[in-house]
Structure 1
């Protein structure tokens, strides 16, 4: 009776009598530069499939993630809560024997809620939320799984080695395989297509976490040749990786179309954090900063929401949205109750993206790194940045997206108001439960060895 009531309310909210609950597809790329997609104006690499996805739905022009590097963003995404609330503020070291490193088992994840609501659930790709068996995705609500447990992986030609994070075996449904695909990005796209095309009468949720274009840059020789005009070898390989990623996403969207599920699938796409232009070949134009920093280049990402049955194709949305909103939105469209014991920090985006919300989405967004070494906050057009013991920085992002004009001295009342809000938020958090192994670039360094 209770679940039937939720479905009735869902049908009413979606504006029709059809109570078909959508499939939910969450696609995450890795270290993707803000300008390295066509739908954000990028010209260096064709991304026709991502551009088509954006054209089929809503391009969120102020899309954010909850942290400027990999694992904490993923922890926030799958819980729907600021990851600092439960101490997941750093990248965990890869240690299959240490349960203290990773997403605490006390946190309930989105797939667990959706399983209870009758969804088939799947994870494909990168995990990076703890390497012990109890922390693995197949023990945290995902029924069908394929991918690697660590924070990164080789893309081709690796020798399987369980002691090296980037060479661990790929797993299928919790069991190691001997798979060494021709190229991992292509393989992840095929696996996702297979998951999508398997119909069992249930709606499904798939978390598809690519590790491209994160290092090591290992595009196929054929794909790299298409960018032969790029003289910088790092940039050339990065663009080739993005091109392969776009093709893999095309494999996924084509599977949706071939199986007649495009209209009834809610798709999110975004990167886990910003790219790194100086050393890893990304382009964050026009943003300042990069992965690991609290300037826009570290936390503002390409962000698309598509649901052809409900959202207007080719539209855009200018209010701030967050990866934290994915869980709340997913539970709302699934007709599942929101948890009361651990309230979520996101909002249901659908009424806002449809233009049916009763008020604008003006909630603040917060960031903290290093256990409180640095902070940022966005409220409306204003962004407060506090880096260590340096003087506060205040930017009007509506007029200064590149964060070039510090207005803190000219707007002391705004700084004071945002500082008060930031302090109230910070009091709700706990200290980090673990440290990053060598800072946020540890995995990149390992990959180059």
Structure 2
């Protein structure tokens, strides 16, 4: 009842019935799990094969400085759906914020929410109110079901962040009936997505195809694994099973695009392809970017992004403008001609101006990340954590990281040093002060949780790297 009243109040200002016109564009959002910045051909992979995505990129506008709003799955998805940064919804990380060896955690991390509260007005809520048929196909990870968040259709979505039964049927997924023995999950989700398109060809729809791939467990079809095992390794990428998973994901994109074409919907459908965070470190590389999933360095948050808006975006166009996934909510509203809900904060900026003119720039602004939690290291890492609690601002080419354990800061110029190898805090103290002030002002504005309580289990002076 509370959610109904909230939605009614937010949309009551629109006295005209929110019924989508027949020429309102469809929207297909491909949201791939753990796909790194370099994990597709058009971004330079020398081993993974993504011909369908590469063709889509050639027909679209590419963003080379696109970011997820968080370095791991659930918070990135909460930001995408709500249009808000992590401090507003409180989904800071996946599950327990106190990960890794307790002896090395100096602070008690901020409390973390694992469910996106129904009070947040998702992009699906807004599109549904305008008459769109909304389907979530694949990973949800923000609570029990997307059906309470504006979607009318849920295929395979639940609280879990990885496929419970793995990638082959039986899936052990209450929201997805088992297929034939050995059926591959990525293929099955593609079947479901294509059927949704066919069933809704005569009404505006929003298809959120949120593959579990290429999240662990790393499992792929044997023939594809053998193919990549026989292929010469690249200097950047070499992992055969991961490559095979990417191949199936790419084939999925191709099948969905072909279904749109067969249904004569290709020219009236907006296509967005992106990832929820950086790639899985043990299986891939984001070089020259530093880091991987779970880090606030570029390799953990910079992601591939392409947008195809028929009749608007120019084929094979590109932008270096820094953008972030909270921008997609206001962008889709402007694309579809739907007003923003009143008295609901959207932290992003519409990218429509950029999409119409790739040489243009957005108004000067800052991008923010807030991660008041710990993430354990990957096996083989020298450092004790992938990240400790940290807050980050990017403004223009400058990026400042401020770590809460000891207050130390790192300043990088992302244009001159994309690999973040040169900490410029000593040589640019005024820039540090400027960005730190802006970051602290933002933290106060959004009431960001700042961890400060000492961890009583912390043991200083322990030199072990366990």
Specify if TM > 0.5. yes
Taking structure 1 as the reference length, what is the TM-score of the superposition? 0.83
Query: How well do the aligned residues superpose, as a CA RMSD in angstroms?
Result: 2.8
User: Do structure 1's residue 103 and structure 2's residue 116 form an aligned pair?
Assistant: yes
> Which of 136, 144, 147 does residue 123 from structure 1 map onto?
136
Secondary structure class of the residue paired with 2:125: helix
> Which of 146, 149, 154 does residue 145 from structure 1 map onto?
154
Q: Would the alpha carbon gap of residues 6 and 178 (structure 1) be closer, same or farther in structure 2, given more than 3 Å must change?
A: closer
User: Do structure 1's residue 259 and structure 2's residue 263 form an aligned pair?
Assistant: yes
**Aligned match of 1:373:** 389
**Aligned match of 1:169:** 174
**Aligned match of 1:419:** 436
Rounded Cα–Cα distance in structure 1 between residues aligned with 2:407 and 2:86: 25
Q: Would the alpha carbon gap of residues 101 and 65 (structure 1) be closer, same or farther in structure 2, given more than 3 Å must change?
A: closer
Deviation at residue 58 of structure 1 after TM alignment: 0.5
Choose 328-337 or 219-228, whichever is displaced more: 328-337
User: Do structure 1's residue 51 and structure 2's residue 17 form an aligned pair?
Assistant: no
Rounded Cα–Cα distance in structure 2 between residues aligned with 1:68 and 1:356: 27
Structure 2, unaligned stretches of length 5 or more? 1-12, 97-111, 374-387, 451-466
Kept in 2, the 8 Å contact 1:90–1:432? The answer is: no
> Which of 410, 413, 426 does residue 409 from structure 1 map onto?
426
User: Do structure 1's residue 195 and structure 2's residue 196 form an aligned pair?
Assistant: yes
**Aligned match of 2:299:** 297
> Deviation digits for residues 127-183 of structure 1, max 9, x if unmatched?
10013xxxx1122211122113111104444556xxxxxx33333xxxxx3446610
**Aligned match of 1:445:** none
Structure 1, unaligned stretches of length 5 or more? 11-17, 94-98, 161-166, 172-176, 434-449
**Aligned match of 1:382:** 398
Secondary structure class of the residue paired with 2:228: coil
Kept in 2, the 8 Å contact 1:374–1:386? The answer is: yes
**Aligned match of 2:87:** 84
Rounded Cα–Cα distance in structure 1 between residues aligned with 2:22 and 2:364: 30
Secondary structure class of the residue paired with 1:44: coil
Kept in 2, the 8 Å contact 1:320–1:361? The answer is: no
Deviation at residue 200 of structure 1 after TM alignment: 5.3
> Which of 314, 335, 338 does residue 336 from structure 1 map onto?
338
> Deviation digits for residues 68-110 of structure 1, max 9, x if unmatched?
00000000000111122121112147xxxxx964111211111
Kept in 2, the 8 Å contact 1:169–1:179? The answer is: no
Deviation at residue 41 of structure 1 after TM alignment: 1.3
Rounded Cα–Cα distance in structure 2 between residues aligned with 1:399 and 1:431: 30
> Deviation digits for residues 426-449 of structure 1, max 9, x if unmatched?
11334669xxxxxxxxxxxxxxxx
Rounded Cα–Cα distance in structure 2 between residues aligned with 1:200 and 1:247: 22
> Deviation digits for residues 12-48 of structure 1, max 9, x if unmatched?
xxxxxx9932111111111112211011011211100
Rounded Cα–Cα distance in structure 2 between residues aligned with 1:245 and 1:430: 38
Kept in 1, the 8 Å contact 2:86–2:369? The answer is: no
Q: Would the alpha carbon gap of residues 358 and 41 (structure 1) be closer, same or farther in structure 2, given more than 3 Å must change?
A: closer
Rounded Cα–Cα distance in structure 1 between residues aligned with 2:354 and 2:81: 21
User: Do structure 1's residue 60 and structure 2's residue 70 form an aligned pair?
Assistant: no
**Aligned match of 2:274:** 270
Secondary structure class of the residue paired with 1:62: strand
Rounded Cα–Cα distance in structure 2 between residues aligned with 1:109 and 1:46: 34
Q: Would the alpha carbon gap of residues 356 and 221 (structure 1) be closer, same or farther in structure 2, given more than 3 Å must change?
A: closer
Taking structure 2 as the reference length, what is the TM-score of the superposition? 0.80
**Aligned match of 2:320:** 318
Count, aligned residues = 402
Deviation at residue 282 of structure 1 after TM alignment: 1.5
Rounded Cα–Cα distance in structure 1 between residues aligned with 2:205 and 2:94: 29
Rounded Cα–Cα distance in structure 1 between residues aligned with 2:38 and 2:301: 13
Kept in 2, the 8 Å contact 1:266–1:307? The answer is: yes
